[in-house]
Amino acid sequence: MKRAKEALVLILAGGVGSRLNILVQKRAKPAVPFGGIYRIIDFSLSNVMNSGLKKVGVLTQYKPLSLMSHLGMGEAWDFTGRSRGVSILPPRTGERESDWYRGTADAVRRNFDFLRANPAEEVVILSGDHIYHMDFDAMIGFHRAKKADMTVAMMVVPKNQMYQFGAGIVDKHDRIIGWEEKPKEPKTNLASMGIYVFDYNYLIDTLSRDREENDFGIDILPRALAEDDVFAYPFYGYWRDVGTIPAYWEANMDVLKKDSGISPQKWQIRTNIEADGRPADRAPARFVEGCHLQHCMVSAGSVIKGTVINSLLSPGVVVEEGAVVKDSIIFQDCIIEKGATVDLAILDKRVVVGEKAVIGFGQNYTIANRLKPSHLYTGITLIGKGANVPAEQRIGRNCVIDSGIAEEHYPGKTVDDGESLLNDEES
């Protein structure tokens, strides 16, 4: 029997991820920082590495530069050598320049040349924007034992969340016998994780037969149920789609919880510490006498003189005397000056919060963001890359301060709950 290590892996990393708002303004969703020192795509890549798979293609599209820089040649995940490697597959346009990938199947179809150049027994197709730990070798073994044409990783989720997923109905042998895509009234609580194993020749034939089938979940899977052997691979571990600001915040906070099920270190998640000023060239974090830390994670190169509670700090963050950071996610090289407060917020890279400024002012969490109410409605405020928050400025809940906003852009000393301050160059 041939080893699962001969399978080819495709990671779909081209999605816009617009619900992450300004966090994806200058980067692809899989390149968004996570858990202090990682990026979201690190979890898929590390799962591939830990499963012993050797050949990976990463399909990029939307603002791919930071993602490509992070991936490098794949050294961080041991994807170098004669028989292994990671290939960055750049965007492919259709007949028009604006004709981007129209779905997951369309993305794979437009990279047929890579598929044909790397024949394998199976093709494993993953999303690059999920947080999880999974053994793909075991899934491929299941796929082979069932003699399946297509296998879908699936897990149980609460029925009130099923509207976000493809829903599968299975028989006692795990064969999928019914399918609903994002049902409003689901008949099952078994959800697709967006992880597929295909027989290599079956995938080639399937994508060649109908070029109007653009998406695996919407188009190909429902048709395949009636004609082919499609099975559900049961998954019981930690898995999160971090495609919304609340979900992203919650998954980050899970890193701080002992019993949440997520443990990047135990999962052996790797990242590229050589790229973009990461911890490789940082001094150890420094904790000055009088600082206070509670239930938090602080990365290398940070200097803590104030208070950090229930928060994750990326490399190079400075928290000055009297400053308080609470329930927040702080990206690389941010500075929280003396007496400032950051409460329930996400700060992108190189944000400067002036003395005695308050981000997360007041206790009214119910006023959703006026421009993007479906993005920000739980009280979280976003501050964009390189923004400057002036001294004594007050910014409310569910607010957005755009990338590059400077002191002169603020209309007054208070940004009310649910308001946004946008940079004309980025709007």
98, pLDDT greater than 70: no
Q: How far apart are CA 330 and CA 381, in angstroms?
A: 12
335 vs 194, 257, 275, 300, 379, CA distance in Å?
A: 38, 26, 21, 14, 22
| 130-160 per-position pLDDT tens digit | 999 999 999 999 999 999 999 999 999 998 8
pLDDT band at 129 (very low <50, low <70, confident <90, very high): confident
The number of residues making up the chain comes to 427
pLDDT band at 423 (very low <50, low <70, confident <90, very high): confident
The whole-number pLDDT of residue 5 equals 54
Mean pLDDT of 250-265: 94
144 phi and psi angles, rounded to 5 deg = -70, -40
pTM of the model: 0.92
* Pair type for strands 38-39 and 33-34: antiparallel
406, pLDDT greater than 60: yes
Q: How far apart are CA 308 and CA 2, in angstroms?
A: 52
Of the two residues 166 and 321, the one the predictor is more confident about is 321
The whole-number pLDDT of residue 427 equals 37
% of the chain exceeding 70 in pLDDT: 93
Is residue 409 exposed (0-12), middle (13-18) or buried (19+ Cβ within 10 Å)? Answer: middle
108 vs 27, 54, 208, CA distance in Å?
A: 22, 19, 11
Mean pLDDT of 369-392: 97
97, pLDDT greater than 70: no
Q: Which residues contact 312 (CB under 8 A, 6 or more apart)?
A: 35, 36, 252, 255, 256, 296, 297, 328, 329, 330
Distance of CA 103 to the CA centre of its chain: 18
Of 193-202, 209-218, 226-235, give the lowest mean pLDDT range.
Answer: 209-218
The whole-number pLDDT of residue 426 equals 44
- Which one-letter amino acid corresponds to residue 334? C
3, pLDDT greater than 80: no
Mean pLDDT of 268-297: 86
Q: Which residues contact 55 (CB under 8 A, 6 or more apart)?
A: 8, 9, 84, 85, 118, 120
333, pLDDT greater than 70: yes
Fold annotation for 4-256: Spore Coat Polysaccharide Biosynthesis Protein SpsA; Chain A (3.90.550)
Of the two residues 115 and 102, the one the predictor is more confident about is 115
Find out whether 29 and 15 touch, Cβ atoms under 8 Å.
Answer: yes
Mean pLDDT of 250-274: 93
The whole-number pLDDT of residue 87 equals 87
10, pLDDT greater than 70: yes
% of the chain exceeding 90 in pLDDT: 69
277, pLDDT greater than 60: no
Q: How far apart are CA 390 and CA 392, in angstroms?
A: 6
| 21-66 per-position pLDDT tens digit | 999 998 889 999 999 999 999 999 999 999 999 899 999 887 778 8
The whole-number pLDDT of residue 193 equals 93
Mean pLDDT of 170-179: 94
323 vs 200, 285, 291, 328, CA distance in Å?
A: 56, 17, 10, 13
Find out whether 182 and 164 touch, Cβ atoms under 8 Å.
Answer: yes
Domain-by-domain residue ranges, the chain?
4-256, 282-421
pLDDT band at 79 (very low <50, low <70, confident <90, very high): confident
Class of the CATH domain delimited by 282-421: mainly beta
The whole-number pLDDT of residue 339 equals 98
- Three-state secondary structure readout of the chain: CCCHHHCEEEEECCCCCHHHHHHHCCCCHHHCEECCCEECHHHHHHHHHHCCCCEEEEECCCCCHHHHHHHCCCHHHCCCCCCCEEEEECCCCCCCCCCCCCCHHHHHHCCHHHHHHCCCCEEEEEECCEEECCCHHHHHHHHHHCCCCEEEEEEECCHHHHHHCEEEEECCCCEEEEEEECCCCCCCCEEEEEEEEEEHHHHHHHHHHCCCCCCHHHHHHHHHHHHCCEEEEECCCCEEECCCHHHHHHHHHHHHCCCCCCCCCCCCCCCCCCCCCCHHHCCCCEECCCCEEECCEECCCCEECCEEECCEECCCCEECCCCEEECCEECCCCEECCCCEEECEEECCCCEECCCCEECCCCCCCCCCCCCCCCCCCCCEEECCCCEECCCCEECCCCEECCCCCHHHCCCCEECCCCEECCCCCC
Q: How far apart are CA 115 and CA 209, in angstroms?
A: 16
Mean pLDDT of 375-386: 97
355, pLDDT greater than 80: yes
295-302 own/partner pairs: CB under 8 Å, 24+ apart? 295/256, 296/256, 297/35, 297/36, 297/255, 297/256, 298/36, 299/36, 299/37, 300/37
The whole-number pLDDT of residue 274 equals 77
283 vs 291, 293, 320, CA distance in Å?
A: 18, 19, 18
For the four alpha carbons of 367, 369, 371 and 376, in that order, the dihedral sign comes to: negative
Mean predicted lDDT score pLDDT of the chain = 90
